[in-house]
A and B are shown apart, each in its own frame.
Chain A
Amino acid sequence: MLLKKRSFYILFLPALVVLIGVAIFPFFACINNSLRFYDLTNPAKGTPYIGGTNYRLLFEDGRFWHSLLVTFYFVIFGVAVQLVLGYLMASLLNGVEKGSLVLPFFLIPMVMTPVVVGLTWRLMYDHILGILNYFIRLIGMTPQPWLGTESLALFSIILTDVWEWTPLIFLILYSGMKALPTEPYEAATIDGASIWQVLYRITLPLLKPVILVAILLRAIDAFKWFDTIYIMTSGGPGVATESASIYSYMIAFNFFNIGKGSAFSIIMIILVNIFCMIFIKIIPEKEVA
């Protein structure tokens, strides 16, 4: 072992203290606040303990369940579309000579400031002045209120997310494909395997670790996703695109109900943890350590 024990502590303790401060403090403060009546618009009542009332209020709140459902849609559909499209793109570029030349262009959507992404798409989605409806009319279809109706808004929001993050999945899978061994494919060609057999029996199993990493990261981000939704619809129309991150923000910072917002936070922490634990069980040990 290279470091002496004392040196290890000198190097690590300062960071550990700060980490505990910024990570542990909020967690316990949230638990504490979630068990209190804590309303910033009603300071006269103080912040007395009320047990599990905030949690009960949430569970009885249809909007809470709806926000979880919307989040679920984002996680499932958003990530699924990104995965399929990213995979197709990676296969395509992998087959094109000098395909890596265009890679830098695909970096732009994912590094662009998300607020700018949201703004750009909001302008493009505009019902009357937006470029998207211009193209729609150009090909002879009916212009749509992209962010204006409930079912369409959900779709449009996911489309923006697909634009922003498919490139990441694509790049993950592309580098995964570049690292694939060639022998199994040569053997498969000799044995006369079909394209689908090659995909299911060779490519997907070999890419499984990178695919899982991609899914894990994107799913967690989709769960936390706030910025572009807030810019494009703020959860509307109605509550159609109101995800858990948007609704919990509303409860805490628009309705100023800190108690209920904290209870929501704790529930979200639990959900993320359950999800991660399931996933870490699936990912082979060596891929993470």
Chain B
Amino acid sequence: MIRKNKVVMFILVGVLLVFFLFPVYWIVTMSLKTRIQAISIPPVWFFKPLLKNYTKVLLESAFPRNFLNSFIISLSTVFLSVLLGTPAAYALSRYNFRHKRDLLFWILSTRFAPPIAVIIPFFLLFRDLKILDSHLALIIVYLTFNLSFIIWLMRGFFNEVPQELEEAALVDGTTDLGAFVRIAFPLAAPGIVASTILSFLFSWNEFFFALILTRKIAQTLPVAISGYIGFMGIEWENMSAAAVMASIPILVLAMIVQKYLVRGLTLGAIK
């Protein structure tokens, strides 16, 4: 009886894995097929994998530039968010004042704002400043979700660092800012790295703001890939090669921060 139960459970886990992994398997294998194989029905299950689609996308499309755009924009906005957000997170962890809870909720709530409400004013502003379709425009707009995310998440990590060590340092004559830099910061480092990577991940995946703010010069990968759908028609093999290449950095980063992923995606609510 127990034996039988176990078998059923393993089968069910298998079914779940197939459901959640098949689309990934499908897009990856499609990127390694010829066009005929990619769209053939019945599908070709066994074939000689080709890298031709990858070289084609890399050499004959704007993919490398889009990749670079995504990279520059994500890195810059994350850098700014961490630079501003880490001290703020520490400050909010170690200093109490009236209405602190309200302030924290306000910071959190900026993440819940409907993106359309954020983008219309920024679109008009950037149009007047003539910086539409620039890296700078996206870097600024991405601060709207990255900064509050970094502050909120890192505050949680700082809260987990025991205050006694900093207090001891204060007794030894360190200033409070010195205690932050030399003691709390290194101790919270794993959490800080995780928040940074998660923030990069969100920026890399972001589509809505990039769709509205970029056309050509600063176009990011998600926007470029959405554009292929219209233009490439049934060039499924090339589309999927681009899609896979866009996802690889994200999957690598996600595996690095695996332990913190749920915590990040739930804004620290689930540890």
Known: A15-B84, A105-B21, A226-B208. A120 touches B27 (CB 8 A): yes
Which residues on B sit within 8 Å (CB–CB) of A124? 23, 26
Q: Does B85 contact A (CB under 8 A)?
A: yes
Whether B222 pairs with A115 at a CB distance below 8 angstroms is yes
Interface size bucket, B side?
Answer: 35 or more
Which residues on A sit within 8 Å (CB–CB) of B239? 119, 123
Query: What is the bound-complex CA distance between A227 and B141, given in angstroms?
Result: 17
Q: Does A148 contact B (CB under 8 A)?
A: no
User: Whole-angstrom distance from the CB of B182 to the nearest CB of chain A?
Assistant: 14
Which residues on A sit within 8 Å (CB–CB) of B1? none
Which residues on A sit within 8 Å (CB–CB) of B236? 123, 129
Which residues on A sit within 8 Å (CB–CB) of B121? 25-26, 29-30, 33
Q: Does A262 contact B (CB under 8 A)?
A: yes
Known: A19-B110, A120-B23, A176-B270. A12 touches B88 (CB 8 A): yes
Whether B270 pairs with A172 at a CB distance below 8 angstroms is yes
Question: Most chain-A Cβ atoms within 10 A of its Cβ — which of B17, B20, B110, B122?
Answer: B20
Whether B258 pairs with A107 at a CB distance below 8 angstroms is yes
> Main SS of the interface on chain B?
helix
Whether B212 pairs with A230 at a CB distance below 8 angstroms is no
Q: Does B133 contact A (CB under 8 A)?
A: no
Q: CB within 8 Å of B: which of A164-179?
A: 167-168, 171-172, 175-176
Whether B101 pairs with A1 at a CB distance below 8 angstroms is no
Task: State which of B49-57, B186-194, B261-269 sits at the interface with chain A.
Answer: B261-269
Q: Does B42 contact A (CB under 8 A)?
A: yes
Which residues on B sit within 8 Å (CB–CB) of A26? 113, 117-122, 144
Q: Which residue of chain B lies nearest to A104 when distances are taken between CB atoms in the complex?
A: B258
Which residues on A sit within 8 Å (CB–CB) of B148? 19, 23
Contact of A287 among B84, B140, B265, B269 (CB under 8 A): B269
Known: A8-B95, A93-B13. A30 touches B250 (CB 8 A): no
Q: CB within 8 Å of A: which of B110-155?
A: 110, 112-125, 140-141, 143-144, 147-148, 151
Q: CB within 8 Å of A: which of B1-33?
A: 9-10, 12-13, 16-17, 19-21, 23-24, 26-27, 30
Interface size bucket, A side?
Answer: 35 or more
Instruction: Mark each residue of chain A from 92 to 108: 1 if its CB lies under 8 Å from any CB of chain B, else 0.
Output: 11011001001011111
Question: Most chain-B Cβ atoms within 10 A of its Cβ — which of A19, A104, A217, A224?
Answer: A19
* Given A15-B85, A26-B120, A230-B226: 20 more A-B contacts, CB < 8 Å: A2-B163, A15-B147, A26-B117, A27-B113, A29-B124, A29-B125, A115-B207, A115-B223, A123-B236, A129-B234, A134-B42, A168-B266, A172-B270, A210-B270, A217-B269, A226-B208, A230-B207, A249-B208, A262-B120, A265-B120
Q: Which residues of B contact A (CB under 8 A)?
A: 9-10, 12-13, 16-17, 19-21, 23-24, 26-27, 30, 39, 41-43, 84-85, 87-88, 90-92, 94-96, 101, 104-105, 107, 109-110, 112-125, 140-141, 143-144, 147-148, 151, 163, 166-167, 170, 175-177, 179-180, 201, 204-205, 207-208, 211-212, 221-223, 225-226, 229, 234, 236, 239-240, 243-244, 246-247, 250-251, 254-255, 258, 261-262, 265-267, 269-270
A selection of 22 A-B contacts at a CB cut-off of 8 Å is A4-B176, A7-B175, A8-B94, A12-B92, A18-B147, A19-B151, A23-B148, A26-B120, A30-B117, A105-B21, A108-B20, A108-B251, A111-B254, A112-B251, A115-B207, A115-B246, A117-B23, A119-B226, A214-B266, A231-B229, A252-B116, A261-B120
